[in-house]
Structure 1
Amino acid sequence: MDDVAVFCSDPLSVRRLMCICDQFERASGAKVNRGKNEAMLFGNWADQSSIPFTVRTDHLKVLGIWFGGAGACAKSWEERISKVRQKLGRWKLRSLSITGKNLVIRCEALSLLLYVSQVWPIPRTCAAAVTRATFQFIWRSKMDPVRRDSLYKDLGNGGKNTPNATLTLMATFVCGCIKLCQDPRYANTKCHYVLRFYLSPVLRRMGLASLPRNAPSSWTIPYHLSFVEKFLKKNTFDHKSIRKWSARSVLETLREKESADPVEWFPEQTVKAIWQNASSPERSNKHQNMAWLVVRRALPVRSFMHAQTLSRTTRCPRSGCGGDETVTHLLLECAYAEEVWRGMQWCLSRFVPSSAMTRDSVLYGLFPRTHTETNINCAWRIINLVKDALWAVRNLLIFQLKELTPTECCRLAHSKVQDYVLRDALKLGAAAAKARWGKTTV
């Protein structure tokens, strides 16, 4: 026996339990370590001397969850959240993209917390701690360059599909309670009767369950179960559209209400195309992040950092420039950037003419539809390579005082084209990749 929880109603039950353990010891040769066993008393136990275990008066852990008096819920969550912080702290040592960090949050952090959410609702303070740890891990800072609600959105709506850990944990607890009340598989279990006693008035009022009215019910709901009513009132959605009460179906229903984040003056249809270009799977995760931050105007250039009171000046670091370093200035308007784009024109001209290289094509990937999808895809990849090279060269100048010439920046961007050629060769074959890129990699 390992980690066994036994419920005894009186001292006689305790003595019978010990007799069973004695028989097991004689038959198996194993021995129960009574010094490690713990007990918690509920109700009136006048004779406590008959209990051969350590009696706990505060909390008792059963299968990794703390039960007992006040504070058991918060203690269970705080213990798991500390483990989540440790895991995310180890992953911070790696240079991951936002996509990779989302995978770590989904697999490493949520896997630890979902178990507790099936027993206890997450308190407000613990929910704030989980959210704080998530975004500090994503940005490696206490400052959020982008609104948190925007990161939760789908890729096509301007988000990064970041797991909404708090909402997922809330939905898991609520769906578990509703499922125990509705699902006929639990009709004769003790959990069904206990939850039905407290939640039947709420579920009937919201039309979520057809529970019998002649069954005993309570109009006073315990604190941890009142969370169900608060969640259903706060997240307004059509309950009848949810066929299966699971956290995934609830989150999908809430996600259907999302709208795409606006981008400057572009209409909604063009905005959808911009966000799809920014998160195109044809490009590496690093370049997806770069394009997404450029559209968001969240790249940490000096004008952005000055607005956050993290930079003393907004001026471009290039000597003799004197303009404000915005995202558009860094990538297009600076004389250094113009020289780099002229140097890369021979590489881009294979796919799109110089007339197609406009502000919208560089920042948002919007090209005239007169070109083929393959040429647009290759040109958009090269453009993001150039933007990444401009950003890397700018950081070398600021942090290491190393100034590269526009020609060296072009060489840096062109050296990375081979990565996409190899990527297409693995996906399409060597011949198809060579026909697509031609002399671009020479």
Structure 2
Amino acid sequence: MDIERFLAVKYLSLKEGLSGCMVRYAAGNVLRKYGLCEVNLSKPVCFKSLWFYVRVDRCIRRNNLENVVVKDWCENNNVLKLVEEREEMERIGGLTENESKKVWNMVNEKNLTNRQKDLAWMAVHGCLPTREFQRRRGLVEREICEREVSGKIENITHVFWNCMYAKEVWKRMGKMMKELTGVQILTFNMTLYGLCNIEGKQARILWLLVNCVKEVLWDVQNILIFNKTVIEVNECVNMIRGKLFLYV
């Protein structure tokens, strides 16, 4: 959906000028079906549309945008708003529709870095490449966490919450979180989904803190696996504090 949304906005500029002329030439055969432009056969026109205009055609049909007028297509924000209104939201298992909507908004929080958004999205979808995820696809032989001596499976819940290493990191960060957000007890739903009983600025600060911690926990886990290097808890906490300077 994202690539189609991008193409619909980027390549449907029908404003007057050079870009508009190029769109009418390259996409006129597609757009005329929806009354978005008139093809003047006295001027050059491409009857075999380029691949991205074929995708735009598909996007228009899939999102029922056939009745959108030219004026709206000329405004990027209008196009995005129309697509978002028609876009179906994926329900998250165990959560209500309103909770799911809130989670997806949190995943796309504008103050998160792109990498933090990616990690949050993969964690919610359950497709973060943990050893359990990779073993199911035949990429690794063992799904056991290399940090735990008790032989526990390395999955999303383990890496970010149940692992003794992660628990100690959350414990060390607890004082800072309490001072900045007022949260006394952190829950797994707060760390994975951003669902909590606080609102406004404090909720945003908590979500930023949580994602900085998750990003570093994921980094140190991969450093252990690929570099065979153990990052001590104190050093991990310092790495998290370094990430937080991005928001100071």
Question: TM-score interval w.r.t. the shorter chain?
Answer: 0.7 to 0.9
1:380 equivalent to 2:207? Answer: yes
Equivalent-residue separation in structure 2 for 1:375 and 1:234 (angstroms): 41
Residue 15 of structure 2 is matched in structure 1 by none
1:292 equivalent to 2:121? Answer: yes
Q: How far apart are 1:337 and its partner, in Å?
A: 0.7
1:281 equivalent to 2:114? Answer: no
Equivalent-residue separation in structure 2 for 1:413 and 1:383 (angstroms): 10
Residue 167 of structure 2 is matched in structure 1 by 338
1:393 equivalent to 2:245? Answer: no
Equivalent-residue separation in structure 2 for 1:395 and 1:191 (angstroms): 58
Equivalent-residue separation in structure 1 for 2:143 and 2:33 (angstroms): 54
1:172–1:352 Cα change, 3 Å = farther
1:410–1:260 Cα change, 3 Å = same
1:190 equivalent to 2:12? Answer: no
How high is the TM-score relative to the length of structure 1? 0.44
Residue of structure 1 aligned with 2:237, choices 402, 410, 415: 410
8 Å Cα contact 1:351/1:376 also seen in 2: no
Task: After TM superposition, list the pairs within 5 Å mapping 1:14-413 onto structure 2.
Answer: 173-176=29-32, 179=35, 183=38, 186=40, 190=42, 235=62, 237=64, 239=66, 241-244=67-70, 255-353=84-182, 355-369=184-198, 373-413=200-240
Equivalent-residue separation in structure 2 for 1:271 and 1:255 (angstroms): 15
Which amino acid is 1:265 matched to? G
8 Å Cα contact 1:344/1:410 also seen in 2: yes
Q: Secondary structure at the match of 2:180?
A: coil
Which amino acid is 1:259 matched to? E
Q: How far apart are 1:236 and its partner, in Å?
A: 7.4
The structure whose Rg is larger is 1
Q: How many residues align?
A: 227
Q: Deviations over 1:139-195 (max 9, x none)?
A: xxxxxxxxxxxxxxxxxxxxxxxxxxxxxxxx7741056558x64x94xx5369x99
Q: Which runs of 5+ in 2 are unaligned?
A: 13-19
Which amino acid is 1:190 matched to? S
Name the stretch that deviates more: 246-255 or 353-362. 246-255
Q: Which runs of 5+ in 1 are unaligned?
A: 1-98, 121-170, 196-221, 422-442
How high is the TM-score relative to the length of structure 2? 0.74
Equivalent-residue separation in structure 1 for 2:92 and 2:59 (angstroms): 33
Q: How far apart are 1:119 and its partner, in Å?
A: 5.5
Q: Percent identity?
A: 24
1:175–1:392 Cα change, 3 Å = same
8 Å Cα contact 1:321/1:335 also seen in 2: no
Structural RMSD (CA): 3.9
8 Å Cα contact 1:302/1:325 also seen in 2: yes
1:173–1:386 Cα change, 3 Å = farther
1:172–1:361 Cα change, 3 Å = farther
1:231–1:362 Cα change, 3 Å = closer
Q: Secondary structure at the match of 1:391?
A: helix
Which amino acid is 1:373 matched to? G
Equivalent-residue separation in structure 1 for 2:151 and 2:213 (angstroms): 22
Q: Deviations over 1:387-441 (max 9, x none)?
A: 11111110110110001122221121122222211xxxxxxxxxxxxxxxxxxxx
Equivalent-residue separation in structure 2 for 1:366 and 1:301 (angstroms): 23
Residue 52 of structure 1 is matched in structure 2 by none
Q: How far apart are 1:386 and its partner, in Å?
A: 0.9
8 Å Cα contact 2:178/2:184 also seen in 1: no
8 Å Cα contact 2:148/2:163 also seen in 1: no
Q: Secondary structure at the match of 2:145?
A: coil
